[in-house]
């Protein structure tokens, strides 16, 4: 079994924002405190100073720190902000030039993959393929099973990417899946945030979230929605409400895995499993089922922790901020544990 573990430094976003951890501190945390994790993913505009034109000294520092700790530069994320210029929307040619630049940046920093925005049209990806192949940097598309790519009608993004790969025969474009597409219960941190925004105290918001979470598995979705609409209608509003999750079967991984370059280990809140001190889970994500499939197919790629729960807790002020470092450590406890197959140690 050889699932590899790493961290998207995006997970430490508020530590970075408040000046508590620099990118060097974040690399040190991964190397020294996550017991076997060595993969690094970054967002270019967050970690790279002065992006898109960082000083040359940064590259020396970056490569020196990565070598110092024996870390692997797995994926650098780029976003196509088509509205970044005040006088026009970026053209396809401009998007292509930015991708070419980011491919060179990835190469210079030692990254194996460049994650593109999901809204980059495939015609632009195809135009970028020769440059990716020349530099031997792979491009990835993080697409949920159902989403709306830029400029296209709603379609199955996974099928579109797979068809593109099969048509072009490329080895330099693939999928980057996110555990959030398997979310099968509401995130309690999101429920708490929406209830606090409606005027509830943190204690009241916590109790309401636990009440509603307990209904899943006991009542039908229609019954839960009817009850919520009657008692807490604010939760039924907005496109990012807590009941709007993908709930895709992890079995779709069998179709996707031949084309996956690496995975996002999305999570929102790691809590201790009742009766199992020191073991943690995210209650809204079926990690055990996902890891069972990954062990079955001997997945040997990286899964990078991607913590997003802090985004639903930042309304409570600095003193109420969740400990991102501890949350990531808990996530790696879970991934280490689920990567292990007890049958591996049975001798016949």
Q: Indicate the range of 78-82, 206-210, 221-225, 344-348 predicted with least confidence.
A: 344-348
Q: What does the pLDDT look like over 2-14, one tens digit per residue?
A: 899 999 999 999 9
Residue that has been written with the tokens 């050889």 in this structure: 2
Confirm if 167 and 161 have CB atoms less than 8 A apart: no
- Output the pLDDT for position 342: 55
Percent of residues, the chain, with pLDDT higher than 90: 77
User: SS3 for the chain, per residue?
Assistant: CCCEEEEEHHHHHHHHHCCCCCHHHHHHHHHHHCCCCCEEEEEHHHHCCCCCCCCHHHHHHHHHHHHHHCCEEEEEECCCCCCCCCCCCCCHHHHHHHHHHHHHHHHHHCCCEEEECCCCCHHHHHHHHHHHHHHCCEEEECCCCCECCCCCCCECHHHHHHHHHHHHCCCCEEEEEEHHHHCCCCCHHHHHHHHHHCCCCHHHHHHHHHHHHHHECCECHHHHHHHHHHHCHHHHCCCCCCCCCCCCCHHHHHHHHHHEEEEEEEECCCEECCCCCCCEECCCCCHHHHHHHHHHCCCCCEEEEEECHHHHCHHHCHHHCCCHHHHHHHHHHHHHHHHCCHHHHCCC
- Output the pLDDT for position 150: 35
232/207 Cα distance (integer angstroms): 13
β-sheet bridge partners, residue 41 = 8, 75
- Both tokens of 48, joined, read 């790279």
- What is the average pLDDT value for the chain, to the nearest integer? 91
Cβ atoms < 10 Å from Cβ of 36: 10
| In the chain, where the domains are located | 4-184+245-339, 198-239
Confirm if 75 and 116 have CB atoms less than 8 A apart: no
Confirm if 260 and 313 have CB atoms less than 8 A apart: no
Q: Indicate the range of 85-94, 130-139, 323-332 predicted with least confidence.
A: 85-94
Q: What does the pLDDT look like over 239-294, one tens digit per residue?
A: 678 888 888 889 999 999 999 999 999 999 999 999 999 999 999 999 999 999 99
- Both tokens of 325, joined, read 């470092």
CATH fold of 4-184+245-339: TIM Barrel (3.20.20)
- Output the pLDDT for position 144: 59
- Output the pLDDT for position 28: 98
- Both tokens of 30, joined, read 């991964």
Average pLDDT over every residue of 186-191: 95
Q: What does the pLDDT look like over 101-151, one tens digit per residue?
A: 999 999 999 999 999 987 788 999 999 999 999 999 999 988 754 443 333
Distances (CA, A) of 82 to 91, 114, 117, 120, 261: 8, 18, 11, 10, 26
108/73 Cα distance (integer angstroms): 11
Percent of residues, the chain, with pLDDT higher than 70: 93
Q: Indicate the range of 23-37, 75-89, 298-312 predicted with least confidence.
A: 75-89
Closest CA to 136 of 158, 157, 119, 111: 111
- Output the pLDDT for position 345: 47
Of 1 and 333, the structure prediction assigns the larger pLDDT to 333
65/53 Cα distance (integer angstroms): 20
β-sheet bridge partners, residue 265 = 305
- Output the pLDDT for position 341: 58
- Output the pLDDT for position 153: 33
With cut-offs at 50, 70 and 90, classify the pLDDT of residue 193: very high
- Output the pLDDT for position 85: 81
Residue that has been written with the tokens 């901020």 in this structure: 321
- Output the pLDDT for position 318: 85
Residue that has been written with the tokens 């159902």 in this structure: 146
Over 80: is that where the pLDDT of 177 sits? Answer: yes
Radius of gyration of the chain measured on its C-alpha atoms: 21
Of 282 and 80, the structure prediction assigns the larger pLDDT to 282
Closest CA to 78 of 157, 142, 149: 142
Confirm if 177 and 142 have CB atoms less than 8 A apart: yes
With cut-offs at 50, 70 and 90, classify the pLDDT of residue 80: confident
30/38 Cα distance (integer angstroms): 7
């Amino acid at each position: 079994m050889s699932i590899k573990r790493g961290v998207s430094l995006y997970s430490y976003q508020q530590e970075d924002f408040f000046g508590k951890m620099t990118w060097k501190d974040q690399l040190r945390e991964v190397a020294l405190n996550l017991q076997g994790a060595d993969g690094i993913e970054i967002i270019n505009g967050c970690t790279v100073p002065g992006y898109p034109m960082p000083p040359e000294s940064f590259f020396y520092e970056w490569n020196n720190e990565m070598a110092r700790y024996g870390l692997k530069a797995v994926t650098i994320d780029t976003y196509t902000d088509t509205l970044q210029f005040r006088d026009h929307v970026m053209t396809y040619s401009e998007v292509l030039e930015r991708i070419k630049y980011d491919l060179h940046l990835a190469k210079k920093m030692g990254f194996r993959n460049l994650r593109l925005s999901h809204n980059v049209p495939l015609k632009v990806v195809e135009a970028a393929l020769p440059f990716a192949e020349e530099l031997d940097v792979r491009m990835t598309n993080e697409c949920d099973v159902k989403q709306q790519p830029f400029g296209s009608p709603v379609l199955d993004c996974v099928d579109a990417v797979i068809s593109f790969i099969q048509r072009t025969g490329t080895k330099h474009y693939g999928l980057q899946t996110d555990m959030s597409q398997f979310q099968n219960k509401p995130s309690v941190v999101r429920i708490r945030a929406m209830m606090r925004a409606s005027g509830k105290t943190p204690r009241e918001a916590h109790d309401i979230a636990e009440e509603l979470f307990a209904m899943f598995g006991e009542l039908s979705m229609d019954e839960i929605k009817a009850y919520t609409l009657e008692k807490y209608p604010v939760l039924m509003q907005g496109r990012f409400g807590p009941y709007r999750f993908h709930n895709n079967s992890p079995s779709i991984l069998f179709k996707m895995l031949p084309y996956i370059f690496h995975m996002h280990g999305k999570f929102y809140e790691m809590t201790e499993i009742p009766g199992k001190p020191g073991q943690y889970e995210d209650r809204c994500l079926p990690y055990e089922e996902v890891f069972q499939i990954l062990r079955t197919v001997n997945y040997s790629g990286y899964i990078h922790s991607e913590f997003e729960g802090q985004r639903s807790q930042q309304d409570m002020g600095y003193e109420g901020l969740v400990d991102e470092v501890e949350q990531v450590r808990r996530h790696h406890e879970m991934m280490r544990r689920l990567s292990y197959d007890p049958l591996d140690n049975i001798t016949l």
